[in-house]
Structure 1
């Protein structure tokens, strides 16, 4: 299999990263962070989510974040929406790209979506259909694609089937997430191979957490299989809710540095990316 020379990096720090941080970053700082990320060359940056602030106070004010941004036409700012109410709020705020996430296991779905998988998928089908009818694009996420904190290792076909279903419903892209960061290159390869049997590589992305310190190795294995889109979070934002004190999301600056060393083109300026990293570290009061 030929390996693409260009890798697209999707920045998830302002949403997936910050929503798992203990500190609440003000709207103005979130806007400034996203501007720095765009200035560094990132073309897709998750801007926030339209979930109840009672459940995720870190994401309150996402409508004001979007209002404070005026990106070029080639920059996408996806926002997570959990249901039709969230979609309505996102569209009212001007969101042109929304995201939904489904769980590969029953236990994780019940714990995080408060619904069994069948009920949750019915809800997502409504959201995707309504979003597309209104002219919005939809990105899908498959959480626990490799490992579940409640059920252990996940069968590759379970993640693949869910990814295929999301594509059938209309998602332009589905990101396969190693939510707990327990994945190994071998398990990642098995999961991706199963997904590729159902979904074209161009419609898939990978999203590795670095809890086990293997995110970069897992990413390389995914690229070797033909994946060309990788999620990451500036400064490794997010921690890991299942392993206190452990590293969370794959850090964008580490990903871009590795990809550059391997000869891939990302279109991202590492120096500018460093400024974004330093900015959010200061906002969070981190010294390293």
Structure 2
């Protein structure tokens, strides 16, 4: 079964793509999105060393942890201790994920100045992940964003299931755009479009980006977050870059996974992304050798090899 049989958008007519960006911001999610999927809790000192090494490699945005209730994500129960023990490198941002007002309270207590919220583009995932409907979820996010912006805190909006939902199938493009616009209008400075189960294709990415632009949302406010379940993450990223997107989420060593799709291979590996960016002569500021060494070290801590093809190639 292929994308057409799954009902996913195929190739769409479009004008010439925009010029490639001269520079890309890599939003590194390994310490949060990657480690939260581990079966065993990673020790605090390992997490802190992981963040230190990634900062030393030149990554300028390191999503550090999540202030979600420990009952739901026990792997990140040490969020406050991690922020307290973090030796923050100059010029590096350390955003954290907050699920609700209680999470925001904890982030404020920890003196965090950069947060993200996590919304859903599909009704079923909103119910299952947020215990709220597609429209009702905004009642939970509005006070979080309002208070944070009032405190001078930058707020990023994650939007999950933008390309497909394991229960509903393809998510209508217009539904994704409407939900994403509400997050931006609420006060989020950036919207990260998540391919949570890794079913997106370049044609679908193009269709969604064109729809956002047609709705008045500039690509300068959009980031992309691809999973590599069907091996499309780099192709999808290249499509987004050619349509003006200049912030890409990725995970060092390809850490992370998708609990909603069998055989999911996790997040786009940062090393694989950098290899492609170097080939396109796009600046990113990261020392690939140092990052590969970091991912090899982290793989040793986790007791399994990195799934990143570039890590495997450069460390063999």
TM-score, normalised on structure 2? 0.89
Aligned to 1:227: 245
Are 1:238 and 1:248, in contact at CA under 8 Å, matched by a contact in 2? yes
Match of 2:236 among 218, 223, 228: 218
RMSD: 1.2
Give the drift of 1:67: 1.2
Worse-superposed segment, 106-115 or 271-280: 271-280
Aligned to 2:254: 236
Give the drift of 1:2: 2.4
Aligned to 2:284: 266
Give the drift of 1:74: 2.2
SS at the partner of 1:24? coil
Aligned to 1:144: 161
Give the drift of 1:144: 0.5
Structure 1 unaligned blocks of 5 or more? none
Q: Deviations over 1:32-59 (max 9, x none)?
A: 1111111111111110001111110011
Aligned to 1:69: 86
SS at the partner of 1:118? coil
Aligned to 1:175: 192
Match of 2:61 among 29, 33, 44: 44
TM-score, normalised on structure 1? 0.97
Aligned to 2:42: 25
Aligned: 1:56 with 2:54:
no
Structure 2 unaligned blocks of 5 or more? 1-17, 307-316
SS at the partner of 1:174? strand
Give the drift of 1:73: 4.5
- Summarize the alignment of residues 87-166 of structure 1 with structure 2, pairs less than 5 Å apart: 87-166=104-183
Aligned: 1:278 with 2:293:
no
> In the aligned structure 2, how far is the partner of 1:164 from the partner of 1:208?
20
- Summarize the alignment of residues 180-219 of structure 1 with structure 2, pairs less than 5 Å apart: 180-197=197-214, 198-219=216-237
Q: Runs in 1 of length 4+ with deviation above 4 angstroms? A: none
> In the aligned structure 2, how far is the partner of 1:283 from the partner of 1:65?
18
